[in-house]
Amino acid sequence: MENYRVIEVKEAVRANNDRRADELRAKLKARGQLLINLMSSPGSGKTTVLARTIEALSGEMKIAVMEADIDSDVDAAAISATGAKVIQLHTGGMCHLDASMCEQGLDGLDAHEADLIVLENVGNLVCPAEFDTGAAVNATILSVPEGDDKPLKYPLMYQVCDVVLVNKIDVLPYFDFDLDACRANVEKRHPGARVIPVCAKTGEGMDEWYRWLRDQVAAHKA
């Protein structure tokens, strides 16, 4: 008879995280606050999209931001310039945030009056998708230079996301990127997920993203 046990630690850790995430979601819902987990690969334009969004909507709602990075405060400094309340979260080398880390960030942010809280997750298409942060909505950005096949290569990211922003559409003429194929690939991973083509730099398509956000915030408060 074997004198040791085998424990599936991965499953246990995920189960504990999922419980904490559900508790955090319920707490934020009770406050009427919408938390969005914004994910993507590095360089896709998360911070630029976020800064432009804050500038467009700050007169309508109170927005706060948690910037997650392995190191540095570059993104927090950029968002701070918009006037939004922001906190920088250093993950200490970890490539994602989980529910406990997100809750620590929220405590430090102290944004109880915010209508919308955005977690800009660590730039990575794998690990952030694996951990429930407690957000009510998951969003990802796919930039045109990355290619329209990203949903096929990184399936979990697109399975967990409710909305996909296809950013940098101003460079579509210069890349072999098929927007219809991209939509079809997202649909394969998450039927019904919203796909919104945008250019954060020029503002093209951003109005549709703003409308979607307004609807999400209103529905969460209802």
Q: Answer yes or no: is 47 within a domain.
A: yes
Q: Answer yes or no: is 198 within a domain.
A: yes
pLDDT score of 221: 87
Kind and range of the H or E element at 88?
Answer: strand 85-90
pLDDT score of 11: 58
pLDDT score of 106: 94
- CATH number of domain containing 171: 3.40.50.300
Which amino acid makes up residue 102?
A: C
Cβ-Cβ contacts under 8 Å for 13 (sequence gap 6 or more):
none
pLDDT score of 15: 83
Domain count across the chain: 1
Q: Answer yes or no: is 46 within a domain.
A: yes
Q: Answer yes or no: is 192 within a domain.
A: yes
Distance between CA atoms of 187 and 185, rounded to whole angstroms? 5
pLDDT score of 3: 57
Q: Answer yes or no: is 4 within a domain.
A: no
Q: Answer yes or no: is 1 within a domain.
A: no
Query: What is the strand order of the sheet 34-40 is part of?
Result: 85-90, 63-69, 116-120, 34-40, 137-143, 163-167, 194-197
Q: Answer yes or no: is 96 within a domain.
A: yes
SS3 call for 107: helix
Give the residue numbers spanning the domain of 145. Answer: 9-221
Cβ-Cβ contacts under 8 Å for 93 (sequence gap 6 or more):
70
SS3 call for 120: strand
Distance between CA atoms of 155 and 211, rounded to whole angstroms? 27
Q: Answer yes or no: is 3 within a domain.
A: no
Beta-ladder partners of 68: 89
Mean pLDDT, each 10-residue run in order, the chain (222 residues): 50 81 96 97 96 97 92 88 92 84 92 95 94 97 98 98 98 98 98 98 98 96 84
